[in-house]
Structure 1
Amino acid sequence: MLADSQLWHNACPIRTVDHQQEGHMDVFVLTAKDGRHALHS
């Protein structure tokens, strides 16, 4: 688990568009098996 408040990211909070309709969120999850597949930025 990561503390989101400690990370910088360029994202906006999710806000409702229509309070009468159900909302959805698209999520992309990236995982790595071990250090050989680590991301470098």
Structure 2
Amino acid sequence: MAPVDMRESINGLAALVENELALSPMMEVLFVFCNLGRDREH
């Protein structure tokens, strides 16, 4: 998956999970987001 704009709100990240991964953000799984430099996490 491509790097994520870490300025996204929780709603933006949830929409990314739904639209890009075709998954529900309410699933009992761990979603990990990282930026281009892989030096920040959200």
| TM-score higher than 0.5 | no
More contact order relative to length (CA 8 Å, sep ≥ 6): 2
TM-score range, shorter chain: under 0.3
Bigger helix share:
2
TM-score (norm 2): 0.21
